[in-house]
Amino acid sequence: MIEGEEEVGSDNLGLFVASNKDLLKADVILISDTAIIANDIPSIDVGLRGLSYMEVAVQGPNRDLHSGVYGGAVANPINILCQMIASLHDEFNHITIPGFYDGVLELSASDRAAMAQTPFDLEAYQQDLGIQSVHGEKGYSTIERASIRPTLDVNGIWGGYTGEGAKTVLPSMAYAKISMRLVPNQSSEEITRLFTEHFLSIAPKGVKVTVKAHHGGEAYLMPTDSIAYQAASDALATTFGKEPVPTRGGGSIPIVALFEKELGVKSILMGFGLDTDAIHSPNEHYGLFNFYKGIETIPHFFSNYKQLSQ
Amino acid sequence: MIEGEEEVGSDNLGLFVASNKDLLKADVILISDTAIIANDIPSIDVGLRGLSYMEVAVQGPNRDLHSGVYGGAVANPINILCQMIASLHDEFNHITIPGFYDGVLELSASDRAAMAQTPFDLEAYQQDLGIQSVHGEKGYSTIERASIRPTLDVNGIWGGYTGEGAKTVLPSMAYAKISMRLVPNQSSEEITRLFTEHFLSIAPKGVKVTVKAHHGGEAYLMPTDSIAYQAASDALATTFGKEPVPTRGGGSIPIVALFEKELGVKSILMGFGLDTDAIHSPNEHYGLFNFYKGIETIPHFFSNYKQLSQ
């Protein structure tokens, strides 16, 4: 099956899966849409984050105004939107939406200790991204922040004059796209509702705020004691020459939870990309090493799976 | 003299004025670029606010990132920019830039009492703008907020994905245009410096921030006991049938301070527009009543001025 709508929310896939359960009968689903830690450190993603993707609009005055004539006396929707967005995190970078963390399953100390063993070079990470410092929720490591913790990121913002030079406008409208990555046991529908209620509740009187939901999806966990995980692990061990590391990914593949719900079938995430592939960015790429390694590895999964399940 | 560059900062006018002082010799300068309170309430603008117009950029990672893979672990420049902008006002809507108010001349209680007599209908104002409530600095009226108080407004903001639908990007860059209206005795150059220093100082470690200045200009006051004011007041009284009210405008006409500095000549601001003309907005317009009233009134100014200065 090839899914071409994944980046725009897979609007039609749910209906297709629900109406074609017989056609889609399977023992397990193999998806190659994840990354390995490095070309010499194979890994298998055993977790995915869920997603709630929102769009908000703040309206101040009913038309753009001259910022000299009205500035200071009328709520500026951009200033207000910035204040509202800023208030969604506290000083420790915790998310402030009431109830947001209620569903979150905290990892045990031993699970966190195991995760801390994942090969990770902070200096190389920062150098690759050209940043002086990582930034995130207090009390969690970079790997944890990007996998087992829920997040809230502004994906886009716009309003007012954005051309060259200056225009002294007090704009009528400001907009933002805001998405939250969710972890197992958080419900995308519930988080969407909590965000909407909270965002509307913090709007000051001088503006009108609207919130709409784009797509969402649930988080996912694949047990490492399953036949599918063992078959994938053995396949990678054969072609990479070493045991893969189980990791928890930070991205979302909403169809994985959908497949489980509708078809009752688990998915194994055996991808061969790298985090440095610049996905969702200019110059996105995929290495030939990784492409050929995938072709070489996947047949082993099928024969391993057949053997292990006999 | 016709100035066509005023909205883009009059880059060339300063040089022209400085090199043509003889050509520009005058007793007084008349500028028609302001508004009256209403068609039945004539007024003369005796004050203008100054301006410092800035553009800021916040860079997080060196490229756009996938918000699932990196979200939560890397500073998102839009979230950071929103936090930085939000922090520029406190809970009372005072501006938090250190030293920002140092130069501000506070009006005396009697001047504020006189200003409170200016005809102003808050309900009509809110209805015209389609807002439920005005919004501004605590302790000041709407007229004061829009004239005698300095302000800080975001005129434009942009970053990340702003098209239709959703894209789960953690962007590399976020930008904003931010302008401050200044009052007499605040120096545009000094405020530009204070803003720049402060904005750079509040940047967290995970981002790089740059600040550049667009144009600026100084605030201005025209004494009401001058011949020019008297000549204008009498002219409006003749054509409107009632004495005009002296008001302080919130906009900026940087050439007024420039003329005074370079030519030693004061300007009288005798404009005939209305705040509801939607200036700097779609469907900007100018009433025929106001156009003809201007044609009718201005010749009276010239003859009044000649008589009063003899």
pLDDT at B255: 86
Three-point CA angle B277, B54, A133, nearest 5°: 135
pLDDT at B293: 97
Beta-bridge mates of residue B238: none
Average pLDDT of the residues in A33-53: 93
Q: Do A166 and B60 touch (CB under 8 A)?
A: no
Helix (H, G, I), strand (E, B) or coil at A297: helix
Q: pLDDT tens-digit profile of B150-179?
A: 999 999 999 999 999 999 999 999 999 999
Find, in chain A, the residue whose alpha carbon is nearest to that of B71.
A146
Contact with chain A for residue B42, Cβ under 8 A: no
Q: pLDDT tens-digit profile of A112-122?
A: 998 898 889 99
Q: How far apart are CA B127 and CA A152, in angstroms?
A: 36
Above 80 in pLDDT, residue A9? Answer: no
Q: How far apart are CA A243 and CA A25, in angstroms?
A: 30
B64, two tokens: 């756009």
pLDDT at B82: 98
Q: How far is B175 from chain A (nearest CA, A)?
A: 9
Q: pLDDT tens-digit profile of B25-83?
A: 999 999 999 999 999 999 999 999 999 999 999 999 999 999 988 999 999 999 999 99
In this structure, the number of other CB atoms found within 10 A of the CB of residue B98 comes to 10
Above 90 in pLDDT, residue A287? Answer: yes
**Angstrom distances, CA of residue A76 to CA of A66, A207, A310:** 11, 8, 67
**Low-confidence spans in chain B with pLDDT less than 70:** none
Interface test with A, best of B36, B186, B212, B281 (most A CBs within 10 A): B281
Percent of chain A past pLDDT 90, that is, above it, reads: 81
pLDDT at B160: 97
Judge whether A56 and A203 are in contact, CB under 8 Å: no
Q: How far apart are CA A230 and CA A136, in angstroms?
A: 34
Q: Looking at A14-18, A91-95, B192-196, which range is the least confident one? A: A14-18
Q: How far apart are CA B189 and CA B201, in angstroms?
A: 18
Q: Where are the beta strands (DSSP E) in chain B?
A: 29-31, 43-48, 50-59, 65-66, 151-160, 169-170, 173-182, 208-217, 220-221, 245-248, 267-269
Q: Looking at A55-59, A272-276, A295-299, which range is the least confident one? A: A272-276
H-type helices in chain A, by residue range? 13-19, 67-70, 77-86, 109-115, 122-129, 142-145, 188-201, 227-240, 254-263, 288-308
* Residue in this structure with the two tokens 């725009």, named with its chain if needed: A8
Given phi > 0 = left and psi -120 to 50 = alpha, else beta, which region is A271? beta
A63, two tokens: 């038309």
Give chain A's domains with CATH numbers: 23-49+219-308 (3.40.630.10), 51-104+150-217 (3.30.70.360)
pLDDT at B119: 86
Q: pLDDT tens-digit profile of A143-178?
A: 999 999 999 999 999 999 999 998 999 999 999 999
> Among candidates B174, B8, B125, which has minimal Cα distance to A159?
B174
Q: Do B145 and A206 touch (CB under 8 A)?
A: no
Contact with chain A for residue B153, Cβ under 8 A: yes
Above 90 in pLDDT, residue A197? Answer: yes
Q: Which of A43-47, A196-200, A216-220 has the highest mean pLDDT?
A: A196-200
A156, two tokens: 């886009």
A41, two tokens: 């450190």
Q: Do A251 and B66 touch (CB under 8 A)?
A: yes
Contact with chain B for residue A284, Cβ under 8 A: no
Q: Do B153 and A81 touch (CB under 8 A)?
A: no
**What is the value of pTM for the model shown?**
0.90
pLDDT at B141: 96
